[in-house]
C-alpha cells in the first residue's frame, strides 16, 4: 500500500471550513475553555496528562463545580494519568499529589464530578496517558496542553502549545465513546474517592488494559472518494500503531514541503529515515524546535542542579548532530531549522504539516517514548481542495514569530560550552552506555 493510499483510506469526518477555529494563544485557550464549561448543557469530558493543584487548576475545577451546581444533570468526567495524579512535582520532595486535592474538593462541594486515573503501564517511566482533548457538548477543544498556571498563562509565564476548537457533533461523540470504553476497564480507578487501590494491586489489570488499547480505535466513517475537508482521529500505543503509521505515511507522501514542530528533538529512527528520504526526493523540510532555555526541564545558571536539567542539552546535542550530517541541505536552503525562544517562556507545540494538504495536531512529542510507550492520539486535518489554508498559514506564522531560522551547527555552539554539571552527567551516560536507553524513555 502506498502512503497516499493509506492516508486516503483513513476514516474521518467531513467538516465545513468554518467548523475549525484556531485559538491564538494560551490566554485565548484559557478563556475558551472556561466559556465552554459555563455554557455546557449535556456533557463535559476533559482528558489531559494532569489537572494541577494551583490557581489555574482551581479555577477550572471551580468552573466545573459551578456548572454542575447550576445544571445537576450535566455529566462531567475528567481523565488524567494515574501516576502523575498520585505524586508531587518532580524535585519538590514528598507531596500527596493532585489526587488528595481532588478528594478534598469533592468532599467540599458534595457534587458528583468523576475523576479517573489511567495507568498505561505498571511504571510511569515506561508509559503515561498522553491522550488529549476536551469534549464539551458538541465541541472538541484539542491541544497538547495540560491544566496548570503556565499552560493556561494564569500569571506572567506561558508555555506555548497549539489550540484548535472543532464544532462537530460526530467527532465529539466518537471521542467521548472512546473515553467511555477506556474507563470501562477495571484498571482505571476513581481518583476523587478515598481508599484507592495500590498500583501493585492493579498490575494484572494494567497489562490487560494495555493489550486492549492496542486494539482500540475511534469509530469513524469510511472515507469517500472526492471528499473535501475532513478530520481524522487517530489513536496509538506501542510500536507500529495507527498514529505512528500515519505520521510516517505523511512524510513519505510529501512532494513539496514538510514542517515539523517539537519541543524535544529526539526523533525515532523510523522518523529520521523518512526525513532523509524526503530530503533525497527534493522535499523542503522545516523544523521548529524549542530553545534549550524554552524547555520545561531547563535549569538556569545558579539554580540547584538536578539530573533532569541535562535533558535540554541532550536534545540540543541531538539537533546539532542532525544538522551537521545534513549541512549541505541547510546550506542550499532545502532544510531550515528554526529555534523558538520567547525569553522567560517555554515551548510545547507539536505537529506535522505536509504540502498544502495535511495538518496533524497531536500531543505526541515525535520521539521514541511517544512512538513506543505512551498512549497518544492525534487529529489529522485533510484539506485536499485548499479550503482551510488561511487559518493554517496564520497558525504557522504565529509559531514562527519567535522562531528565527538559524544554522544550528554554528548557532548552537559545542558540547564543550555546556555547564560543568551537564558535561559530567552526559559523559557518564555515554561511558555507561545508557544514553540510547535514556533517549528511548525521555
Counted domains in the chain: 2
Residue where a domain stops, chosen among 213, 243, 260: 213
Whether residue 218 lies inside any domain: the answer is: no
pLDDT digits (tens, 9 = 90+) for 337-367: 999 999 999 999 999 999 999 999 999 999 9
pLDDT at 89: 60
Residue where a domain stops, chosen among 178, 213, 248: 213
The CA-based angle 409-412-417, given to 5 degrees, is 120
**Residue-wise over 268-302: b if at least 16 C-beta within 10 A, else e?**
bebbeebbeebbeeebbbbbbbbbbbbbebbbeee
Residues 298 and 173 in one domain: no
Mean residue pLDDT of the chain comes to: 94
243 pLDDT above the threshold of 60: yes
Residues 185 and 312 in one domain: no
412 pLDDT above the threshold of 90: no
441 pLDDT above the threshold of 70: no
Residues 209 and 238 in one domain: no
* Mean pLDDT of the 403-429 span: 87
The catalytic residue among 81, 161, 274, 382 is 161
348 is catalytic: yes
Q: Is 416 helix (H, G, I), strand (E, B) or coil?
A: helix
Residues 350 and 379 in one domain: yes
161 is catalytic: yes
Among 379, 397, 396, residue whose Cα is nearest residue 164: 379
- Residue in the block written with cell 544554522: 407
pLDDT digits (tens, 9 = 90+) for 296-306: 999 998 888 88
C-alpha span between 252 and 278 (Å, rounded):
7
For the chain, percent of residues with pLDDT exceeding 90:
83
Whether residue 337 lies inside any domain: the answer is: yes
Residues 197 and 147 in one domain: yes
Residues 202 and 235 in one domain: no
Start-end of H helices in 217-285? 242-253, 269-280
439 pLDDT above the threshold of 80: no
pLDDT digits (tens, 9 = 90+) for 181-213: 999 988 999 999 998 899 999 999 999 999 999
310 pLDDT above the threshold of 80: yes
**How many residues comprise the chain?**
442
Answer yes or no: are the C-beta atoms of 47 and 145 closer than 8 Å.
Answer: no
- Residue in the block written with cell 454542575: 68
Whether residue 224 lies inside any domain: the answer is: no
**Residue-wise over 332-354: b if at least 16 C-beta within 10 A, else e?**
eebbbbbbbbeeebbbbbbbbbb
Domain extent at residue 246: 230-441
* End-to-end alpha carbon distance in the chain: 32
> Does 436 or 318 have the greater pLDDT score?
318
- Residue in the block written with cell 549541512: 327
Q: Residue 385's domain is classified under what CATH number? A: 3.30.870.10
241 pLDDT above the threshold of 80: yes
pLDDT at 308: 86
Largest CA distance in the chain: 64
432 pLDDT above the threshold of 80: no
Whether residue 57 lies inside any domain: the answer is: yes
Whether residue 42 lies inside any domain: the answer is: yes
Q: Is 47 helix (H, G, I), strand (E, B) or coil?
A: strand
Whether residue 12 lies inside any domain: the answer is: no
35 is catalytic: no
Q: Going by DSSP bridges, is the β-strand pair 139-143/133-136 parallel, antiparallel, or unpaired?
A: antiparallel
Residues 143 and 244 in one domain: no
C-alpha cell at 193: 474517592
pLDDT at 423: 87
Residues 237 and 209 in one domain: no
Residues 196 and 257 in one domain: no
Residues 159 and 22 in one domain: yes
The DSSP code sequence of 293-345 is GGSTT---TTSPP-GGGGHHHHHHHHHHHHHHHTHHHHHHTSEEEEEE--TT-
What pTM does this model have? 0.95
The catalytic residue among 116, 164, 345, 348 is 348
The catalytic residue among 130, 153, 345, 418 is 130
Burial of 211 (0-12, 13-18, 19+ CB in 10 A): exposed
For the chain, percent of residues with pLDDT exceeding 70:
96
Whether residue 260 lies inside any domain: the answer is: yes
pLDDT digits (tens, 9 = 90+) for 43-101: 999 999 999 999 999 999 999 999 999 999 999 999 999 999 998 665 454 567 899 99
pLDDT grade for 280, boundaries at 50, 70 and 90: very high
pLDDT at 427: 83
Whether residue 4 lies inside any domain: the answer is: no
30 is catalytic: no
Residues 278 and 397 in one domain: yes
Residues 255 and 138 in one domain: no
Answer yes or no: are the C-beta atoms of 299 and 292 closer than 8 Å.
Answer: no
335 pLDDT above the threshold of 70: yes
The catalytic residue among 192, 291, 316, 376 is 376
Q: What are phi and psi of 303, to 5 degrees?
A: -90, 155
C-alpha span between 275 and 251 (Å, rounded):
7
Among 375, 431, 394, residue whose Cα is nearest residue 79: 375
pLDDT at 433: 67
Amino acid at each position: 500500500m502506498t502512503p497516499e493510499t493509506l492516508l486516503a483510506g483513513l476514516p474521518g469526518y467531513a467538516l465545513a471550513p468554518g467548523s475549525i477555529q484556531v485559538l491564538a494563544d494560551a490566554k485565548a485557550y484559557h478563556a475558551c475553555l472556561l466559556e465552554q464549561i459555563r455554557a455546557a448543557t449535556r456533557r463535559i469530558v476533559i482528558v489531559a496528562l494532569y489537572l494541577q493543584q494551583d490557581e489555574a487548576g482551581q479555577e477550572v475545577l471551580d468552573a466545573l463545580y459551578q456548572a454542575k451546581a447550576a445544571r445537576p444533570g450535566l455529566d462531567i468526567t475528567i481523565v488524567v494519568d494515574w501516576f502523575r495524579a498520585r505524586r508531587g512535582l518532580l524535585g519538590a520532595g514528598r507531596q500527596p499529589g493532585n489526587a488528595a486535592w481532588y478528594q478534598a474538593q469533592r468532599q467540599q462541594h458534595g457534587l458528583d464530578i468523576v475523576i479517573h486515573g489511567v495507568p498505561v503501564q505498571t511504571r510511569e517511566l515506561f508509559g503515561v496517558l498522553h491522550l488529549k482533548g476536551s469534549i464539551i457538548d458538541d465541541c472538541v477543544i484539542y491541544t497538547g496542553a495540560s491544566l496548570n498556571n503556565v499552560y493556561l498563562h494564569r500569571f506572567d509565564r506561558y508555555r506555548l502549545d497549539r489550540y484548535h476548537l472543532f464544532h462537530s457533533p460526530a467527532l465529539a461523540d466518537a471521542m467521548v465513546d472512546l473515553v467511555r470504553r477506556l474507563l470501562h476497564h477495571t484498571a482505571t480507578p476513581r481518583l476523587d474517592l478515598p481508599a484507592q487501590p495500590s498500583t501493585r494491586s492493579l498490575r494484572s489489570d494494567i497489562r490487560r488494559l494495555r493489550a486492549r488499547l492496542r486494539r482500540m480505535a475511534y469509530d469513524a466513517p469510511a472515507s469517500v472518494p472526492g471528499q473535501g475537508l475532513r478530520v481524522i482521529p487517530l489513536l496509538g500505543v506501542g510500536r507500529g500503531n495507527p498514529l505512528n503509521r500515519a505520521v510516517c505515511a505523511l512524510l513519505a507522501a510529501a512532494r513539496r514541503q514538510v514542517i515539523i514542530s517539537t519541543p524535544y528533538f529526539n526523533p525515532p529512527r523510523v522518523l529520521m529515515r523518512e526525513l532523509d528520504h524526503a530530503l533525497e526526493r527534493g522535499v523542503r523540510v522545516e523544523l521548529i524546535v524549542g530553545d534549550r532555555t524554552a524547555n520545561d526541564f531547563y535549569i538556569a545558571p545558579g539554580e540547584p542542579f538536578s539530573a533532569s536539567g541535562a535533558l535540554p542539552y541532550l536534545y540540543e546535542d541531538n539537533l546539532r548532530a542532525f544538522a551537521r550530517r545534513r549541512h549541505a541541505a541547510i546550506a542550499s536552503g532545502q532544510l531550515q531549522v528554526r529555534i523558538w525562544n520567547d525569553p522567560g517562556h517555554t515551548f510545547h507545540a507539536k505537529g506535522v504539516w505536509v504540502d498544502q494538504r495535511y495538518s496533524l495536531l497531536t500531543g505526541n512529542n515525535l520521539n521514541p517514548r511517544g512512538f513506543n510507550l505512551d498512549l497518544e492520539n492525534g487529529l489529522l486535518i485533510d484539506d485536499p481542495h485548499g479550503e482551510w489554508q488561511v487559518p493554517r498559514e496564520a497558525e504557522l506564522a504565529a509559531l514562527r514569530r519567535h522562531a528565527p531560522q538559524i544554522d544550528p551547527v554554528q548557532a548552537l555552539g559545542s558540547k564543550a560550552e555546556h555547564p560543568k554539571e551537564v558535561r559530567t552527567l552526559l559523559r557518564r551516560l555515554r561511558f555507561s552506555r545508557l544514553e540510547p536507553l535514556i533517549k528511548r524513555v525521555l
